[in-house]
Amino acid sequence: MFLLELNNIEFSYNNSFEMKDISLQVYPSEFISILGPNGSGKSTLLKILSGLLTPSKGIRLLDGKNYSSYDHRSLARLIGYVPQSSFSVFPFSIYEIVMMGRTAYMNFFGIEKDNDIKIVNETLERLNILHIRNKGINEVSGGEAQQAFIARALVQQPKLLLLDEPNAHLDIKHQISIFNILSELNKELGLTIITVSHDINLVSNFTERIILLKDGKIFLDGNKSKVLLKKNLKSVFDINTQIIKNDNKINVFITS
């Protein structure tokens, strides 16, 4: 049974951008990356998957049930979403930011229970940021802040984790660190992960399935070895490339 299924989804922003004929199926425990040029619909697709945007046409199923059958709290217990630009204008601590992810499990007064505290601390430890739990979110590095926002989504205990460019604005060390964390979550917890990225080489070394978007449509969806081909990258990104395969790793180099 699919964890997630989209059938013939359509969506538009005031007729200025349109997504059409979006259909895909996601099995439990998959780790998928979405690639495409700016304006191809990557973030829009992720928001449709998260429930933040409602398509004008088509069917969305999560755990075999239509999205419309879930209320906001129920959906938050199934889907964790880390947006492209996560930040806080208030000086919340790392601990407070992560505890916000437990909102869907709290009562009307938002009072945390022992189990909430336990889950938050365990998640902070898993993501190696327990030692900075009392630091302000605006006092830590970009990589540490990103780990905190991922932790906030994880304490929702979702079946599906969606991340919009989790490696954006990070140095290469923290980019690799974030994807190592995601890979561990996928393998150790069986968490289903879908991430949007611009870094072809990074995602090719961590995910097996890649979805290429172009002009609001799925250009290709499949194993990275069949998706990351010169002709496909030329068609989608309008770039010339040299592709080197070594065992299960694929490296893409842009050529003149």
- HEC string for the chain: CCCEEEEEEEEEECCCEEEEEEEEEECCCCEEEEECCCCCCHHHHHHHHHCCCCCCEEEEEECCEEHHHCCHHHHHCCEEEECCCCCCCCCCEHHHHHHHHHHHHCCCCCCCCHHHHHHHHHHHHHCCCHHHCCCECCCCCHHHHHHHHHHHHHCCCCCEEEEECCCCCCCHHHHHHHHHHHHHHHHHHCCEEEEECCCHHHHHCCCCEEEEEECCEEEEEEEHHHHCCHHHHHHHHCCEEEEEEECCEEEEEEEC
Task: From first to last of the 256 residues of the chain, give the pLDDT tens digit.
Answer: 899 999 999 999 887 789 999 999 999 999 999 999 999 999 999 999 999 999 999 999 999 999 999 999 999 999 999 998 666 657 899 999 999 999 999 887 778 899 999 999 999 999 999 999 999 998 999 889 999 999 999 999 999 999 999 988 888 888 899 999 999 999 999 999 999 999 999 999 999 999 999 999 999 999 999 999 999 999 999 999 999 988 878 889 989 6
Q: Cα separation of 164 and 145, whole Å? A: 15
Positive or negative CA dihedral for 43, 106, 27, 22?
A: negative
**Under 8 Å between Cβ of 4 and 13:** no
Q: Cα separation of 138 and 148, whole Å? A: 11
Domains present along the chain, CATH in parentheses: 4-255 (3.40.50.300)
